[in-house]
Amino acid sequence: MKDKREYVKRMKPESLMMSYGYKPEWSEGSVKSPIFQTSTFTFKTAEQGKAHFELAYGKRTLGPDEEPGLVYTRINNPDIEILEDRLCLWDGAEACAAFASGMAAISTTLMEVLQPGDLVAFCEPLYGGTEHFLREFLPKMKIESVSFLPGQTIDEVREVIKRSGKADKLALLYFESPANPTNGLVDIDMVVQLGKEFSTKDRKVLTAIDNTFLGPIFQHPLKHGIDLVIYSATKYIGGHSDVIAGATLGSAEMIHRVKALRSMLGTMVGAHTGWLLMRSLETLKPRMMLQCENAKKIAEWLSHHPKVRKVYYPGLLKPGDPQYEIYQRQCDAPGAMISFDIVGGEREAFRFLNSMKLIKLAVSLGSTESLAEHPFSMTHCGVDDHVKRHTGLTESLVRVSIGVEDPEDLIWDIDQALKYVEMAGETKVEAAASEGVK
Ligand SMILES: *Cc1c(COP(=O)(O)O)cnc(C)c1O
């Protein structure tokens, strides 16, 4: 249901998030779209039902002014459609498919675009579930992968692919940027360039990015020529730590294929979650802007703290650093994910995490509340040692997702928790006493 109203073309996404793709006359003048909590939809006539099914099964293509009719919620539902139309606006995408989770988006998309014998080249570390899917599940489908590292040059990545001996089978380049948890940037233009180089007349190498960390507000990879943009909508898009969802965006043709497999697998988002995400989208930009402003202040403050050895945050990059050049080309703002090394090791990092009061100790990110975790032992416990060494992922690293709280209050909390780190040389009795601080 693409919104064809004239004024829409001149509006920014944030102005359209409350109304785009929905007409109040569809539901008794209701300003908000209702939750279409239904599994199935009635046909006006048997002829209409037949026409809808012909489309759903690809027996004919959509007419120029035709919209696919509603049949059954595994195939489509207004709350899912309106959500998808709105998500398209931020990334300038032709089409979007919304999913029950980020992992549902990733697995469904990869299964649709890959086939037995294919090779995937990916940048590690990836989100744990994604890496597991690539390394453990896809080989069962006879799909192999090779990996490269953030910061590697185009020549080095090209070499990695060639050395695999299967460069002619390369089907997909897959990456995350900024990389989790150390915010290393992967050059989007480099990946697009490699995709072109390895493509042949009858074989296009696709490129896909998991844009969860900066998108859809601060990074727009489709505009750089990336084919597929994927999200865990559980994070910034949902933004309230209360839903699990995902999305894939790209050309109408690609998303049509992805949606066909989604209908078969049943990995679509539910109507209720779709509706909640529409509510989240109304405040997406102000939330991410505020989170980013908070993060800039906190990263700057951390970079001067004597108990902090190194802060990993794109906002602290300096001209002259190759990472800074990449940042300038592809990011509109540094986002709200900060990692930092505490002076010491696991013991000091744990002491810090156990002493926070306002900030909660939990994985996940992008929500209104600030969350902190220990990547080495938690989100990245399965990552290979060589990747850990290369990316600076050590026992002293702490990752914080900055929320919308008052930045002074967040700094106060981090400051008081860092004081417990200073006591790292004390006796067991004192240590036990401070364990109670939570
Ligand atoms: C959380 C996350 C995922 C997985 O998303 P779910 O919604 O939990 O399935 C994938 N990629 C990134 C970068 C993530 O942070």
Please enumerate in sequence order all residues whose Cβ is within 8 A of that of 242, keeping only pairs 6 or more positions apart, or say none: 276
CATH 3.90.1150.10 is the classification of domain 285-434: yes
Q: What is the mean pLDDT of residues 404-429?
A: 84
At 140 the pLDDT is 98
Does residue 90 contact residue 214 with C-beta atoms inside 8 Å?
no
Domains 12-38+73-281 and 285-434 share a fold: no
The partner residues of 95 in beta bridges, in order of sequence, read: 250
- Alpha carbon nearest to ligand 1 atom 2, residue: 232
Name the average pLDDT for the chain: 94
Average pLDDT over residues 205-225: 98
Cis peptide, bond prior to residue 286, ω within 30 of zero: no
For atom 12 of ligand 1, which residue has the closest CA?
A: 127
Read off the tokens for 244. 């699990």
* Whether pLDDT at 42 is above 50: yes
What are the tens digits of pLDDT across the range 321-360? 999 999 999 999 999 999 999 999 999 999 999 999 999 9
Residue 362 confidence (pLDDT) above 70: yes
* pLDDT on residue 60: 82
Mean pLDDT, range 180-204, rounded to an integer: 96
Percent of the chain with pLDDT over 90: 87
pLDDT exceeds 80 at position 295: yes
Say if CB 123 and CB 148 are below 8 A apart. yes
Top mutation candidate among 234, 280, 380, 399 for ligand 1, by most atoms within 8 Å of CB = 234
Half-sphere exposure of 375 (CA within 13 A, CB side): 30
pLDDT band at 438 (very low <50, low <70, confident <90, very high): very low
Helix (H, G, I), strand (E, B) or coil at 122: strand
CA dihedral 50, 94, 289, 24 (to 10 degrees): -40
In angstroms, the CA 365 to CA 108 distance is 23
12-38+73-281 classified as CATH 2.60.40.1530: no
pTM: 0.94
Query: Could you state, in order of their start, the residue ranges of all structural domains in the chain?
Result: 12-38+73-281, 285-434
127 CA to centre of ligand 1 in angstroms:
7
CA-based end-to-end distance of the chain: 50
Q: Would the pLDDT of 412 be above 70? A: yes
3-state secondary structure 236-251: CCCCCCCCCCEEEEEC
- Of all protein residues, the one whose alpha carbon is nearest to atom 7 of ligand 1 is 102
DSSP letters along 110-144, please? HHHH--TT-EEEEESS--HHHHHIIIIIGGGGT-E
- The phi, psi pair for 410, rounded to 5°, reads -65, -45
> Which residue, by CA, sits nearest to atom 8 of ligand 1?
102
Mutate to test the pocket of ligand 1, among 176, 183, 232 (most ligand atoms within 8 A of CB): 232
Q: What is the pLDDT of residue 2?
A: 64
Q: What is the mean pLDDT of residues 150-156?
A: 94
Q: How confident is the model at residue 427 (pLDDT cuts 50, 70, 90)?
A: very low
CA-closest residue to ligand 1 atom 4? 102
- The binding-site residues of ligand 1, defined as CB within 6 angstroms of any ligand atom, are 101-103, 127, 129-130, 176, 180, 210, 212, 232, 234-235, 244, 246
Contact 315, 296 (CB under 8 A): yes
pLDDT category, 62, cuts 50, 70, 90?
confident
